[in-house]
Amino acid sequence: MASNSEQKIPTMSRQAAEALIAEKMGPDRVPRKFKIITDTSDFFRVDYNDVVILGDNPYWVKRYEKEGRFGLDDEPKYWVRRAIDLSDGSTKILKLVFHEEFETKIGGISIRCFRSPKKEARILDLVAEHPNFMHGHWVLDSAGNNVRILEFIPGPRYDQLIIDYGTDHQDYFFNYFKEVLDQYIELVTAIKFLHDHGEKHGDIRRDHIIHDRECKVNRWIDFDYNYMHGESMFGFDLQGLGNILIFLTGRGDVLVPELYQQQREVFDRLWGEDLNISYKNRVANLQKIFPYIPKSLNRILLHFSIGAKIFYETTDQMLFDLAKARADVIKLSGRTS
């Protein structure tokens, strides 16, 4: 929830900030130069070591957060800063206001997207008690900017864990996938929770799931995007969920160029309709690559293939099919739990 301080502008003396840094982080870490900031409108003005006052609470600003995207690794997000909460020494992520409107392309389709601090703040309130989302609160700064203060999640990206499971795909699929599928179903159920409340995630990608090492749960992060939807309000979210399931089932992306170069006999069995509708260099019909994948699971993947005749409109439809697939995967792995 917001701790809105519309009436008075919260601030802090330089000496008080220095004393807090010394107390929480050690006297040798007090910087010689820093600013006290209450208005974050120009986020480029917020420098390393500055102290930002939000809702009477001081945050000691550290580095930019980074994100790999569109083939650009470690692209800095200048409006997202790691910070130390000087009231208790904990690490937080500050997301400053950055309104952005742009078009993204999925399978040749342009989708108009908006970055909205209000949306993320609204969802933070909604998911405050939900274990499968990042947590945090929001505050209006002295200029009325909606700054989100997020709890730091200790742990790696979920997708990076997956590719290390098993010695090869068969080992992964028979010995680890049942658990992975359960985790995935939990993540889809979390998205259903948003959809049931009329909210979209807006940017469902596999690098937007963090495995919380302390709580042993997977958490969706970064839900400040909204997209201009058509008839199907949740279609874009669902295509994101489909791509993640294809990744998890394949123990990584199964890429057409790699098959062409390394497994020509498998490549020769593929048709255009077997490919991923969103990313046409990836295979969606994975049963053609890994024949032991149960039909019930492969049928879900085919909803996200070029050859699909029908698409999922809701997470309920997908969860219904996932329950059947789960039963078949359990039979296959010989485990009952």
Partner 1 sequence: MNEQTFSDLARRDTERHLLVAVDESDNSRRVVMYLADFFGDDKNVYITLLSIIPEPSEDYFASESEQAKWLKDKKKSMEKIMKGYRQILTGAGFKEEKIETRLSIRSCTSIGDAILEEQDKLKCCIVVVGRRGISHDEEFVFGSTSSKILHHARNCAVMVVE
The contact set with partner 1 (CB under 8 A) reads 99, 101, 106-109, 111, 114, 116, 118-119, 198, 226, 228-233, 235-236, 239, 277-278, 306, 308, 311, 313
DSSP H helices in 163-253: 169-175, 177-196, 235-250
160 closest CA partner among 201, 210, 204: 210
Contact 315, 200 (CB under 8 A): no
Smallest gap, in angstroms, from Cβ of residue 132 to partner 1? Answer: 22
Residue with structure tokens 């040798």?
A: 28
**Which lies closer to partner 1 via its Cβ, residue 1 or residue 109?**
109
* Alpha carbon distance 35, 281 (integer Å): 49
Smallest gap, in angstroms, from Cβ of residue 195 to partner 1? Answer: 9
* Alpha carbon distance 135, 150 (integer Å): 6
Smallest gap, in angstroms, from Cβ of residue 116 to partner 1? Answer: 4
Smallest gap, in angstroms, from Cβ of residue 311 to partner 1? Answer: 5
Smallest gap, in angstroms, from Cβ of residue 235 to partner 1? Answer: 5
**Which lies closer to partner 1 via its Cβ, residue 108 or residue 291?**
108
SS3 at position 53: strand
**Which lies closer to partner 1 via its Cβ, residue 36 or residue 106?**
106
Smallest gap, in angstroms, from Cβ of residue 209 to partner 1? Answer: 21
Smallest gap, in angstroms, from Cβ of residue 234 to partner 1? Answer: 8
**Which lies closer to partner 1 via its Cβ, residue 60 or residue 236?**
236
**Which lies closer to partner 1 via its Cβ, residue 230 or residue 291?**
230
Q: Which long-range contacts (CB under 8 A, 24 or more apart) does 168-173 make?
A: 169/250, 169/251, 169/290, 170/290, 170/292, 172/251, 173/251, 173/290, 173/292, 173/293, 173/332
Tokens representing 308? 């699909």
Angstrom CA distances, 123 to 120, 223, 305, stand at 5, 8, 31
The CB density around residue 129, as the number of other CB atoms within 10 Å, is 7
Tokens representing 188? 């889809």
Smallest gap, in angstroms, from Cβ of residue 101 to partner 1? Answer: 8
**Which lies closer to partner 1 via its Cβ, residue 115 or residue 211?**
115
**Which lies closer to partner 1 via its Cβ, residue 81 or residue 200?**
200
255 strand-pairing partners: 282
**Which lies closer to partner 1 via its Cβ, residue 111 or residue 185?**
111
Instruction: Compute the chain's Rg from CA coordinates.
Output: 23
**Measured in Å, how far apart are the chain's first and last C-alpha atoms?**
39
Smallest gap, in angstroms, from Cβ of residue 202 to partner 1? Answer: 8
DSSP code of residue 268: T
**Which lies closer to partner 1 via its Cβ, residue 290 or residue 311?**
311
